[in-house]
Every structure is written in C-alpha cells, then in structure tokens.
Chain A
Amino acid sequence: MFCDEALDAVEAIAGGELKPEGRIAAHLETCPNCAAALASARRLEQMLQARPVQQAPPQFTARTMATLRRRRWRSEQFLDVGFNVALGIVALVVGAGIWMFVHRSGLVSVSNDAVNVVGANVVSLAHRIAPSVPLYAGATALVVTALGLWWWAEKDAAL
C-alpha cells in the first residue's frame, strides 16, 4: 500500500519539486521497486530536459507574411465580387421598379412623346455640329492623351 504513495511522489521528486523526507525517503531506500522507479523517473527527466529545441526555418516569417497577404487579397476579391453582385441586384431591382411604375401608371404614352421630342432635337443638333466634328475629335484626343500621360506618371510614382 505504501508503494502506491511513494510511486505517486516519484515524478515530483525526480523533477526536483518534492524532497524525499520521512516515511517516503525511508521507503525509497528500502524498496527496490520504488527505488528503480525513481531512478527511471530521473533518467526520463534528464532525457526530457536534453530534448533539442528546434528553431523555425529561416524563411518562416517571409512565408507567413506571404500567406497572410494572399489570404487578405483573396478575401478582398471575395468582397469585391460580393459588392458587384449586390450592386447588380440593386440596379436590376431599381430598373424593374421603374419599368413597373411606367407601365402601371400610364406614363408609357407620355414617355413615347418625350422620346419623339428628344429624338427630333438630337437630329437637328447633329446637323448643326457636323461641320465641327473633326475639331471636337482632335480636342478630345488631346485631352485623352494628357489624361493617359498623367495616369501613367502617377502609377509609376505610386510604386
């Protein structure tokens, strides 16, 4: 019965957290089984303390940061797609709403008249500006080139 008590204390004694005193110390001196258990526990303690400490691989931090960036990028992509889908759905709902409103409230005839008026005005406007089209096209090309150059310079600066 006393062996059980001594064996329970063996790990703590081997670990240096308990000093064998009194009955336990006497028992450990006289009981070969418990003494062998203590010797074995001390050997195990030494082996555990001598276990090598492994260091992280040299590129560990870089790899972890790369994984982190990849995951963040993926989640941002996911958010972007989600946002675009939501925007599309909203546009669809708004369009359907407008369509239903126009058809149900008798606005179709009014809107047909409006289309005719706008169409006639657009045709007359086109007749008036036709001679100046090359001039407008040149100016637009100039502005687009300037904007392109500005964007290219800004992009390089951001890097």
Chain B
Amino acid sequence: MDPAHERELVERCRRGDEGAFQELVDRYKDLVFALIARTVQDRSRAEDLAQDVFLRIHRGLPYFRGEARLSTWIYRIVANVCVQDHARPAVAVAFDPAISGPSVPDRQFGDLELRDRLEKAIARLPANYRLLVAAHYLRGIQYEELAEALQLPLGTVKTQLYRAKQQLRRLLETELR
C-alpha cells in the first residue's frame, strides 16, 4: 500500500469510519494470520490471536503517530501478542512415534513427515525465535522491517535468526530424529 493511501486509511479509521477499519482488516488479515499460524500450531487459537491483534490495532489507532509504517506497527503488535501467548502455560507438543519410524518410500508421505517434524521443532523454539523464523520466511517481510518492529538492531535480528536455525537443526538432528 502506498504511504498516502495508508495515511488516509488510518485517518478514516481514527474518525470512526467502520468501513475503513474493515478495509484495514481485509488488507492485513492474511499476513497477520499467516504469521501467527506459523508460531501457533492450533488453527482456532491462531484465529483468536489474529482477532486479538486487530482489536488491539483498533484500540491503538488513535495513538498511532505514523512515525513507522503501518505494517511495521502491526508486526510489533503481532510480536507482542505471540510473546504474551507464549507466556501462557504451554501445550506440550507430543512427538508421535507412529510417524517417527524408518523412512517411508512414498515421497509425499516423507515430505509430510519432514514437515511435521519441522513444525514440532519450531514449536519448541523460544517465542522470539519462532516469530523471527515465521516472519523471515513469509514473503515480503524484510530484515529491516523486522528489526524496526521488534525494536532490535539489524545485527541482533540476523544473529538471533542464525541461532534459531542452529537450534532447529539440532532439534531435527537429535531429539526429533
């Protein structure tokens, strides 16, 4: 979205234009949902959290000063919601022995198994690492924007992402083998 249209949309939302807020939800819902769904395994929980993000956006819009891009501000809210959700008592991610046996010749099943292992490994990462991995591999979110959203130096974002991937590799090679 171009900055002028973004400013206009925010201004309309601030004036209480419900249609404008609906447009905002429509525009960002897939991005917000995709980000959250990559950090939370339960789809209905992801929907609840995504809805919570938009309610916070609605509450916070009067205080949004427009210093950062709207999308950056939204990522920041997503990050807060995900970290707060992670602080809740965690649901244990069970390792299903049925799909951990010897490799199956069927390639499709092998891919599914691999993907399942990857998701379980990601679920074991700390919340900030999970969010970084989720956001970095989601099209359109750059390091710079992530750094601004998380209020971290660019170098720290990169280092944390490398560490997250190292941890993931270790999990996939050992515990979830």
Contact = CB atoms under 8 A, between A and B. Distances in A.
Interface string A63-88: 11101100100000000000000000
- Residues of A in contact with B, size category: 20 to 34
Contact of B50 (A8, A51, A60): A60
Interface of A: 8, 11-12, 14-15, 17, 37, 40-41, 44-45, 47-49, 51, 53-57, 60-61, 63-65, 67-68, 71
Given A41-B169, A44-B172, A47-B115, A67 B33 contact: no
Contacts of B54: 64, 68
Question: Which secondary structure dominates where chain B touches chain A?
Answer: helix
Given A48-B133, A65-B22, A71-B55, A54 B33 contact: yes
Interface residues of B, number: 36
Contacts of B114: 47
B16 to A, nearest CB: 10
B115 A56 contact: no
Interface of B: 18, 21-22, 25-26, 29-30, 32-34, 37-38, 43, 46-47, 50-51, 54-55, 58, 114-115, 118, 133, 137-139, 158, 161-162, 165-166, 168-169, 172-173
Contacts of B118: 47-48, 51
B138 A68 contact: no
A18 B37 CA distance: 30
A55 B34 contact: yes
A53 B139 contact: yes
